Amino acid sequence: MPELIPILNKKEIEKKVHAVAQQISTDYAGCDLLFIGVLKGAFIFLSDLIRQVTIPVKVEFVKVSSYGGNTSSTGHIKLAYKPESDLKNKDVLIVEDIIDTGLTICYLLDYFSSFGPKSVQVCTLIDKRERRDKKIKIRYTCHVVEEGFLVGYGLDYAENYRYLPDIYCLKI
Ligand code: IMP
Ligand code: MG
């Protein structure tokens, strides 16, 4: 059986989601803000975040596949689902579960920038720096975790563990 080592509990997650939501509400007051959640991992984070934000926002999703059943990126990024609405002149905030190597977010930043939005920024639940090989500007980060493969609160390993309310490091 794989071992689950607790990393962040529900309360710690909630506290940071609330703080980031407040900051976003201040920074984007009066803007035409569009959250784009990266499926599937960010679905719980995004749904908690939008309910803590105090300004009107719209929501879209994008689906990227690069991991399969592995714990490291294959580096081949595919878009499996694209946002349906027009991004032109919108303030786009990409909502990610984890930024690891940075390949996925770099790809998404380039992709969304090509539609002429007013701005594109990144909001991540976890900034995992261990394997970062791209320099990226992350505007909002809830937690920095140095290493390990994380599961729970939307994060999976081969589609398992997403339903857990806390975040754990998986030891296989
Ligand atoms: P990157 O392209 O290497 O930055 O990988 C980012 C994507 O890989 C994230 O959107 C996650 O879905 C997935 N990922 C990276 N690290 C983990 C992890 O520790 N647990 C679960 N998914 C992860
Ligand atoms: Mg993901």
Which CATH number do you get for residue 106? 3.40.50.2020
Alpha carbon 56 to chain centroid distance?
20
How many structural domains is the chain composed of?
1
CB burial string 123-135: b at 16+ within 10 A, e below: bbbbbbeeeeeee
* Residue 71: per-residue pLDDT: 61
Q: Is the peptide bond before 137 cis (omega within 30 degrees of 0)?
A: no
* Residue 137: per-residue pLDDT: 93
For residue 171, report the distance from its CA to the centre of ligand 2, in Å. Answer: 19
* Segment 32-46 mean pLDDT: 97
* Residue 43: per-residue pLDDT: 98
Strand, helix or coil at 123?
Answer: strand
* Residue 65: per-residue pLDDT: 78
Any atom of ligand 1 within 6 Å of the Cβ of 102: yes
Where in the sequence is the domain holding 22, given as residue range(s)?
3-171
Mean pLDDT estimate for the chain: 93
Give, to the nearest 10 degrees, the angle between helix 10-27 and helix 43-52: 60
End-to-end CA distance of the chain: 8
* Residue 73: per-residue pLDDT: 60
Any atom of ligand 1 within 6 Å of the Cβ of 52: no
List the single range of 27-41, 56-70, 118-132, 157-171 with lowest mean pLDDT: 56-70
* Residue 56: per-residue pLDDT: 97
Question: What digits encode the pLDDT tens for the residues 107-165?
Answer: 999 999 999 999 999 999 999 988 887 789 999 999 999 989 999 999 999 999 999 99
pLDDT band per the 50, 70, 90 thresholds, residue 70: low
* Residue 1: per-residue pLDDT: 83
* Segment 29-39 mean pLDDT: 97
| Mutation choice for ligand 1 from 43, 63, 77, 97, CB with most ligand atoms inside 8 A | 97
Task: Supply the residue whose CA is at minimum distance from atom 9 of ligand 1.
Answer: 98
